[in-house]
Amino acid sequence: MPKPPGKSKLTTRAINLYYGNYHALGDITVEIPECAVTAVIGPSGCGKSSFLRLFNRMNDLIPTARVEGEAFIDGAPVYGKDSDAVSLRKRVGMVFQKPNVFPMSIYENIVIGPRHHGVKNRGELDAVVERCLAQVALWDELKDVGIRNKSGLELSSGQRQRLCIARALAVDPEVILMDESCSALDPESTMKIEELMADLACRYTIIIVTHNMEQALRVSDMSAFFMIDGDKVGRLVEYAPTIDMFYAPKDKRTEDYITGRFG
Amino acid sequence: MRKFKEKLSERIFFALALSSISVLALITLFIFIKGVPLIAEVGAFKFIFGMSWAPGRGEFGIFPMIIGSVSVTLGAAVLGIPVGICCSIFMAEFAPVWMRNIFRPAIQLLAGIPSVVYGFWGLLFVVPAIRNYLGGPGLSILAGSVILAIMILPTIISISEVSLLALPRHYKEGALALGMTHWQTIRSVQLPAAKSGIVAAVILGIGRAIGETMAVIMVLGNSVAVPQSVLDPVRTLTTNIGIEMGYASGGHQQALFATGIVLFVIIMALNVSAQYITRRKIK
């Protein structure tokens, strides 16, 4: 299953994140490989989600958030004068912890992104909907229920989360960030989404935040272990191919966390 | 003993609560008792659609007043709704905290100004401005609409703002994460999601506009005729009651109560539909 990490898609160089006076992430330097799944693990409150949100600048929404250091996508800076959060987010999609389906039809949920990015042709939009629903294995489940009339909110939570993934795919991103996207789901839905991640990893760069060590081990190629150190700052403790990290952790803290977690 | 006190205070509160509701019931009963016989006598159709209001001759047709109420309210809606909704979007989405802290109490203050003051201001500024720049007597549908538009702003703004702020954060995050701009997010996700609250705000605003009396009495001109343009004077259902109540007696007085019934039914219908729409959202 593990493949050799290819070219890096996303990189950070000594990046720091502050919320007001609170130093959330300290000096993170990391290279995320293209077309692979990278898992971000670590105890609660260590800044995993904040780290994920660095890449699509979701932290910008918090007025007190401040970023120091550099992040790059394909070598181009993510922060700074020349970069634009809106066009960045077209390239870096995100799936949230809770399925945040919009209160509109299944069809509208998917086309809303492409439509705002200039796709107006009805046939093209229909094609996008079919492709994206098929990618998340919802097309066969839903094609007969009237996706134009049925509200996305009427789906089961597992279906809703897959709809959210389809919605993210509809804007043709290059990177997909998944913030504990399975934590609110039942095991069967989780399994489906994990299979999906494996499929998607052929084409997309995926970063997931997860509390579930088995999941990290099952789906990811690389793992990043975060922890809060003595000065209350979230830091990257270890970053390695998942197999190496789980079976031969270099850092004592990683080993304690993983073994503690596996029980 | 303590138990007795508990029970007693409970009863007292219940009695007081009941009395406020029974006042509503009494008023309702009263206007219906007073007004229904006349509607029965004239005939509901002739009362509502009759074109002639001449109490001296026993002609009671309130259609010109219904046209008056509808036209002034429509005018107020056309002017007030876009401004109110835009203002609520600004407050909920764009205004920095310090600005919101100034705007919100200011808008509440707008709701607290007595309606007679609005009317007085309208008579001194809006009416002459219309007369000088647009022609006509100045006392007109337009003058009433402008005043009412301002008066319904607080209702529309505060309810719309609350319904926008009550949206789950994750709608906005989800839309932004798709690479939509802030404005696209508001237009395509947040406004549709808050639709029921905004519609309720608009309906309540319209209800307020229809029911308003004092301010419009001073600026509408109050002539009982079907208007030809927005610069013509009109009389509304409320101002009809307000103007004639003082000297009306007998059938005339009953006719005014009957006018009240029509108003009552319209406003009840608006409030019930507003409540129904907001309820549906919760489900």
Average pLDDT of chain B is 91
- Please give the tally of structural domains in chain B: 2
Per-residue pLDDT tens, chain A, 263 aa: give them. Answer: 444 456 888 999 999 999 999 999 989 999 999 989 999 999 888 889 999 999 999 988 888 999 999 999 998 899 988 888 899 999 999 999 989 999 999 999 999 999 998 888 999 999 999 999 988 888 888 888 888 888 889 888 889 999 999 999 999 999 999 998 888 888 888 888 898 888 888 889 999 999 888 899 999 999 999 998 878 889 999 999 999 999 988 988 898 888 886 54
Domain ranges of chain A: 8-101+173-262
Nearest-CA distance B181 → chain A (Å): 6
**What is the distance between the alpha carbons of residues A204 and A210, in angstroms, rounded to a whole number?**
18
Q: Has residue B70 been placed in a domain?
A: yes
Residue A38 in 3-state DSSP?
A: strand
Residues from chain A that touch B180, judged by Cβ atoms under 8 A, are: 86, 112-113, 116
CATH code, domain with B99? 1.10.3720.10
Q: Has residue B55 been placed in a domain?
A: no
Same domain, yes or no: B38 and B131: no
Same domain, yes or no: B92 and B231: yes
**B82 touches A at CB < 8 Å:** no
Same domain, yes or no: B259 and B198: yes
Q: How far from chain centre, in Å, is Cα A70? A: 20
Asked if residue A161 lies in contact with residue A99, where contact means CB atoms within 8 angstroms, the answer is yes
Q: Has residue B159 been placed in a domain?
A: yes
User: Do residue A61 and residue B175 have CB atoms under 8 angstroms apart?
Assistant: no
Which of B179, B189, B192 faces A89 most closely, judged by CB atoms?
A: B179
**B112 touches A at CB < 8 Å:** no
Same domain, yes or no: B35 and B138: no
Same domain, yes or no: B185 and B150: yes
Looking at residue B2, what is its pLDDT?
79
Asked if residue A234 lies in contact with residue A44, where contact means CB atoms within 8 angstroms, the answer is no
CB pairs under 8 A between A and B: 63
Same domain, yes or no: B148 and B206: yes
Q: What angle do CA B68, B72, B73 make, to 5 degrees?
A: 115
CA-based nearest residue in chain B for residue A178: B177
At position A248, the amino acid (one-letter code) is A
Which of B177, B181, B189 faces A58 most closely, judged by CB atoms?
A: B177
Q: Has residue B120 been placed in a domain?
A: yes
Same domain, yes or no: B275 and B220: yes
Same domain, yes or no: B70 and B45: no
Fold of A8-101+173-262: Rossmann fold (3.40.50)
Looking at residue A263, what is its pLDDT?
45
Say if residue B100 is exposed, middle or buried (CB neighbours under 10 Å; 0-12, 13-18, 19+). middle
Looking at residue B278, what is its pLDDT?
77
Q: Has residue B21 been placed in a domain?
A: yes
Long-range contacts of B167-174 (CB under 8 A, 24+ apart): B167/B193, B167/B194, B168/A100, B170/A96, B170/A98, B170/A100, B171/A100, B171/A102, B171/A103, B172/A61, B173/A58, B173/A61, B173/A96, B173/A100, B174/A96, B174/A100, B174/A102, B174/A164, B174/A167
Looking at residue A5, what is its pLDDT?
52
Q: What is the pTM of this model?
A: 0.83
Say if residue B211 is exposed, middle or buried (CB neighbours under 10 Å; 0-12, 13-18, 19+). middle
Same domain, yes or no: B136 and B276: yes
Q: Has residue B80 been placed in a domain?
A: yes
Looking at residue B58, what is its pLDDT?
85
Low-confidence ranges of chain B (pLDDT < 50): 282-283
For A202, other C-beta atoms within 10 Å of its C-beta total 9
Which of B176, B184, B189 faces A102 most closely, judged by CB atoms?
A: B189
Looking at residue A262, what is its pLDDT?
58
Nearest-CA distance B7 → chain A (Å): 46
User: Do residue A90 and residue B179 have CB atoms under 8 angstroms apart?
Assistant: yes
pLDDT in tens, B156-186: 999 999 999 999 999 999 999 999 999 999 9
ipTM over 0.95: no
Residues from chain B that touch A100, judged by Cβ atoms under 8 A, are: 168, 170-171, 173-174
For B275, the domain range is 62-282
Max CA pair span of chain A: 57
Q: Which residues face A15 on adjacent strands?
A: A28
Same domain, yes or no: B253 and B143: yes
**What is the distance between the alpha carbons of residues A232 and A229, in angstroms, rounded to a whole number?**
6
**B175 touches A at CB < 8 Å:** yes
Closest Cα to residue B223, out of B53, B49, B77, B42? B53
